[in-house]
A and B are shown apart, each in its own frame.
Chain A
């Protein structure tokens, strides 16, 4: 049986992409004389909804993987216990979005466009600074793949970047033009990246895709030593990327509050934070955490990401998705 009843088991519920090194997990288990039990509950949205649905009789002690686009849903449900882990004061203030510390930032990433460096579409230009409005040019007709914000969290993140980039009154015009320019919309990242994107190992038909700022570096890191340079690159005009921050929190009603707090401390410790980039391919929140060379070289932090107040996102999220759907799909 699993850890719902066992006293010396701490259960951590997360989305499917959660990853850590085996010895990092073992170290916590040994020093606290506890068994860690992991429960993967689907993609980011599914996992959170499952946690919220069961808040009367929680499935786990700790939840990992609420991002800033879902932050308000998680906080409004009143499902998390306030706790300020050791080391929280060293985390940059801009990443701490819940003043009551019910949800603590653990890592962050940037969603932006990637391009295929082998494509001849970019001859005579610098795609790294390509402006979003240039993508409505007939030259890019049918060449751009985006993810449906109604079913994909990076899809939603990119949509939010365009809101900030063009402004609340203009962003839908751009999407309208992109639709005319035959932008390709797919349901999720796996399809977009592996089935559609020509720069991935899937060798799809389109040279531009919505992905992460770390993806080109990951192509090198996971290339089996075949690559020393990324086959893809980031398109990063000012405000053309969205910062996704991932949070963890203690689920209310846990009978193992003290252990859960220790785990939260551990998540912000250098031991775990050093492990985040190599295992999950996102940036650790701890400024002193180590970043492997390949990511330092090919996954620089975008200088000027889009910034949208979480309160404004919370207020408009669903309506914006509906508007987007009307303009781009219907």
Chain B
């Protein structure tokens, strides 16, 4: 019997007795049922309830060529964004995976910071750097006798640039994290056998990386496919994704049938994509000899490596420049250094009822983020293990389901919450507890996707070998799974933390003035004119970056027992 359980691709369930195991697997399913399927179904039914509404809503989509264009644009810009992000991210992921250099943890943390910033703030940062009156134009344009050289606002290029800026960290962490555990001796063997560098890359490294690359690409695609703020604010009103159009229909025209029809289209498109992805993933999954990273890291020696690492650090530096521009503006007043705006934050000079002391906002953000990280792991870890079950049907059915929330309109789902979570025992719609739940819905797919390539890559023979040497199932789990999976779980945790700090899914819930978070305070300041408001908005944005960076570094330094750095 023992033999059979060890042939399982996943160790964890085999150490838990069957009833407990199903309870473990039921967690993500119950979560999705209550916070995703139930509200979504009810709002769709509600929107289509009146006779003929479903037909008229769906007919609008078919009749108007415009909606076809919107769908095509959503897909097109998402494909471009994904390809670009991976092209820029892969070399960076390689350097982070294989080399050891000073400031690595900090740089990796900084690369994740863009993820948490409100789009309005990112727009302001890019404008300060690349706008018509921005630093780059101010320096370059006079040299060529022009008033400005670059004007990105309102272009597709700006949307793509922002998408790379936001999503680079997904490649860096998910592909980089996986890469770090790949045994380089496979590649070295190929080189010894006389393969060229290009051939080693194409025939050895790339196939080995495929599962992680696929997971990262899927996440980036869905994030950009449902892009809202970047398209609306940076691209301007000439561009529209399905998500933007759903918002317009639901909010500005209160045309729920058309909004619901568009949401349905968006969910279906996501479903088709994820089913395709699941098939692809089944093909590329290979058991690998994953190893703890510490044994594989190389120091930076030789000019070629120095050049490579330098280039990657340079690329990341370029991406971080807009952030520095923001921070710089927040600590200057009339051209001189000043912490004035930070002092102002702590004062309620106008005796405003909704005044938020900065520490309260920091604390609320951190509490919500910690709760989200915990919940996302509680939901995400069982979900990932469920997807490594032997039964093919389980993988086929649940793989797409666990990613669907990322491809669903937040506006629509948020309306669903209002009309479903309104009575005991689920009277959550005005509860602060809904906030981490809503964030978790978007965060847990990241945990699943970060873990899956690693779980599937664990060579079953490693477990068998451990068992043959007399290790108990629990000991096998501890010896084999835990060290390799921990890093992936940490990557997932970082994304969960990020998603919550950046208030993804904020449109799902109502804003409770009793529990304000940092992004909401930023929006409050940006709601009125004046230097005082602008300066304080930048100061809170800088605080948000700072707190998030510290949070990342803290999570990365977490240690479990004697398991060191991976």
Do A201 and B237 contact each other (CB < 8 Å), given the known contacts A184-B154, A195-B123?
no
Whether A222 pairs with B252 at a CB distance below 8 angstroms is no
**Number of chain A residues close to chain B: CB under 8 A:** 68
Chain B neighbourhood of A41, CB < 8 A: 510-511
**A83–B501 alpha-carbon span in the complex (Å):** 42
- Interface check A59, CB cutoff 8 A: yes
Whether A279 pairs with B422 at a CB distance below 8 angstroms is no
Quote the shortest CB–CB distance from A107 to chain B (angstroms): 14
Quote the shortest CB–CB distance from B206 to chain A (angstroms): 40
Chain B, residues 201-222, CB within 8 Å of chain A (1/0): the string is 0000000000000000000000
Whether A224 pairs with B532 at a CB distance below 8 angstroms is yes
Chain B neighbourhood of A23, CB < 8 A: 351
- Of A54, A187, A222, which one neighbours B531 at CB under 8 angstroms? A222
- Interface check B431, CB cutoff 8 A: yes
**A150–B354 alpha-carbon span in the complex (Å):** 29
- Interface check B529, CB cutoff 8 A: yes
Whether B237 pairs with A187 at a CB distance below 8 angstroms is yes
- Of A50, A198, A318, which one neighbours B510 at CB under 8 angstroms? A50
Stretch at the interface among A213-221, A243-251, A263-271: A213-221
- Interface check B498, CB cutoff 8 A: no
- Give B127's nearest chain A residue, CB to CB: A195
Whether B353 pairs with A20 at a CB distance below 8 angstroms is yes
**A16–B340 alpha-carbon span in the complex (Å):** 26
Whether B418 pairs with A53 at a CB distance below 8 angstroms is yes
Quote the shortest CB–CB distance from A199 to chain B (angstroms): 9
- Of B124, B248, B344, which one neighbours A195 at CB under 8 angstroms? B124
Whether B511 pairs with A222 at a CB distance below 8 angstroms is no
- Give B235's nearest chain A residue, CB to CB: A187
Chain B neighbourhood of A2, CB < 8 A: 430-431, 512, 514
Whether A22 pairs with B423 at a CB distance below 8 angstroms is no
**A217–B534 alpha-carbon span in the complex (Å):** 15
- Give A231's nearest chain B residue, CB to CB: B531
Whether B127 pairs with A222 at a CB distance below 8 angstroms is no
Chain A, residues 39-66, CB within 8 Å of chain B (1/0): the string is 1111101100110111001010000000
- Of B247, B423, B507, B530, which one neighbours A201 at CB under 8 angstroms? B530
**A91–B455 alpha-carbon span in the complex (Å):** 69
Quote the shortest CB–CB distance from B62 to chain A (angstroms): 18
Stretch at the interface among A121-129, A203-211, A283-291, A307-315: A203-211
Whether A202 pairs with B237 at a CB distance below 8 angstroms is no
Chain A neighbourhood of B38, CB < 8 A: none
Chain B, residues 399-426, CB within 8 Å of chain A (1/0): the string is 0000000000000000100110011000
**A96–B151 alpha-carbon span in the complex (Å):** 46
- Give B240's nearest chain A residue, CB to CB: A329
Chain B neighbourhood of A281, CB < 8 A: 528-529
- Give A230's nearest chain B residue, CB to CB: B529
- Of A150, A185, A221, A226, which one neighbours B236 at CB under 8 angstroms? A185
Chain B neighbourhood of A53, CB < 8 A: 415, 418-419
Whether A279 pairs with B352 at a CB distance below 8 angstroms is yes
Whether B352 pairs with A19 at a CB distance below 8 angstroms is yes
- Interface check B37, CB cutoff 8 A: no
- Interface check B527, CB cutoff 8 A: yes
Majority secondary structure, B binding face: loop
- Interface check B238, CB cutoff 8 A: yes
Quote the shortest CB–CB distance from B547 to chain A (angstroms): 22
- Give A3's nearest chain B residue, CB to CB: B430
- Interface check B334, CB cutoff 8 A: yes
Whether B233 pairs with A204 at a CB distance below 8 angstroms is no
- Interface check A148, CB cutoff 8 A: yes
Quote the shortest CB–CB distance from B514 to chain A (angstroms): 8
Do A222 and B533 contact each other (CB < 8 Å), given the known contacts A59-B418, A59-B430?
yes
Whether B530 pairs with A218 at a CB distance below 8 angstroms is yes
Whether B529 pairs with A218 at a CB distance below 8 angstroms is yes
Whether A204 pairs with B133 at a CB distance below 8 angstroms is yes
Do A21 and B238 contact each other (CB < 8 Å), given the known contacts A73-B254, A195-B127, A201-B530?
no
Whether B355 pairs with A22 at a CB distance below 8 angstroms is yes
Whether B531 pairs with A194 at a CB distance below 8 angstroms is no
Chain B, residues 423-437, CB within 8 Å of chain A (1/0): the string is 100010111000000
Within 8 A of A (CB), among B335-356: 340, 344, 348, 350-355
**A232–B120 alpha-carbon span in the complex (Å):** 22
Whether A186 pairs with B510 at a CB distance below 8 angstroms is no
- Interface check B251, CB cutoff 8 A: yes
Whether B532 pairs with A223 at a CB distance below 8 angstroms is yes
Whether A218 pairs with B528 at a CB distance below 8 angstroms is yes
Whether B529 pairs with A193 at a CB distance below 8 angstroms is yes
- Of A148, A151, A204, A223, which one neighbours B530 at CB under 8 angstroms? A223
- Of A25, A186, A218, which one neighbours B353 at CB under 8 angstroms? A25
Do A151 and B248 contact each other (CB < 8 Å), given the known contacts A25-B353, A279-B352?
yes
- Give B422's nearest chain A residue, CB to CB: A57
**A40–B232 alpha-carbon span in the complex (Å):** 22
- Give B433's nearest chain A residue, CB to CB: A1
Whether B131 pairs with A204 at a CB distance below 8 angstroms is yes
Do A39 and B131 contact each other (CB < 8 Å), given the known contacts A54-B418, A194-B526?
no
Do A39 and B531 contact each other (CB < 8 Å), given the known contacts A57-B423, A150-B248?
no
Which of A39, A194, A223, A321 neighbours the largest number of chain B CB atoms within 10 Å of its CB? A194
Quote the shortest CB–CB distance from A146 to chain B (angstroms): 10
Chain B, residues 127-151, CB within 8 Å of chain A (1/0): the string is 1000111000000000000001001
Whether A49 pairs with B527 at a CB distance below 8 angstroms is no
Whether B124 pairs with A202 at a CB distance below 8 angstroms is yes
Do A49 and B251 contact each other (CB < 8 Å), given the known contacts A16-B523, A187-B233, A198-B133?
yes
- Interface check B56, CB cutoff 8 A: no
- Interface check A190, CB cutoff 8 A: yes
Whether B528 pairs with A222 at a CB distance below 8 angstroms is yes
- Interface check B524, CB cutoff 8 A: yes
Chain A neighbourhood of B527, CB < 8 A: 16-17, 190
Whether A40 pairs with B511 at a CB distance below 8 angstroms is yes
Whether A201 pairs with B535 at a CB distance below 8 angstroms is yes
Within 8 A of B (CB), among A166-204: 184-188, 190-191, 193-196, 198, 200-204
Whether A22 pairs with B352 at a CB distance below 8 angstroms is yes
Whether B353 pairs with A151 at a CB distance below 8 angstroms is no
- Interface check B513, CB cutoff 8 A: yes
**A21–B527 alpha-carbon span in the complex (Å):** 17
- Interface check A229, CB cutoff 8 A: no
- Interface check A86, CB cutoff 8 A: no
Whether A219 pairs with B513 at a CB distance below 8 angstroms is no
Chain A neighbourhood of B127, CB < 8 A: 195-196, 202, 204
Whether B529 pairs with A151 at a CB distance below 8 angstroms is no
- Interface check B250, CB cutoff 8 A: yes
- Interface check B393, CB cutoff 8 A: no
Chain A neighbourhood of B250, CB < 8 A: 49
- Interface check A253, CB cutoff 8 A: no
Whether A39 pairs with B430 at a CB distance below 8 angstroms is yes
Quote the shortest CB–CB distance from A153 to chain B (angstroms): 9
Whether B253 pairs with A318 at a CB distance below 8 angstroms is yes
- Interface check A24, CB cutoff 8 A: yes
Chain A neighbourhood of B523, CB < 8 A: 16, 190
**A23–B355 alpha-carbon span in the complex (Å):** 12
**A23–B533 alpha-carbon span in the complex (Å):** 22
Chain A neighbourhood of B422, CB < 8 A: 54, 57
Chain B neighbourhood of A54, CB < 8 A: 418-419, 422
- Interface check A85, CB cutoff 8 A: no
Quote the shortest CB–CB distance from A10 to chain B (angstroms): 14
**A219–B535 alpha-carbon span in the complex (Å):** 13
Chain B neighbourhood of A198, CB < 8 A: 133
Whether A40 pairs with B120 at a CB distance below 8 angstroms is no
Identify the 3 closest CB pairs spanning chains A and B, nearest first: A222-B530, A205-B132, A201-B534
7 contacts between A and B (CB under 8 A): A19-B354, A21-B353, A23-B351, A195-B123, A195-B153, A218-B529, A219-B529
| 15 further contact pairs, Cβ within 8 A, besides A195-B127, A201-B534 | A2-B512, A4-B430, A16-B523, A20-B352, A21-B350, A25-B353, A41-B510, A42-B511, A54-B418, A151-B232, A151-B247, A184-B154, A202-B127, A222-B531, A224-B340
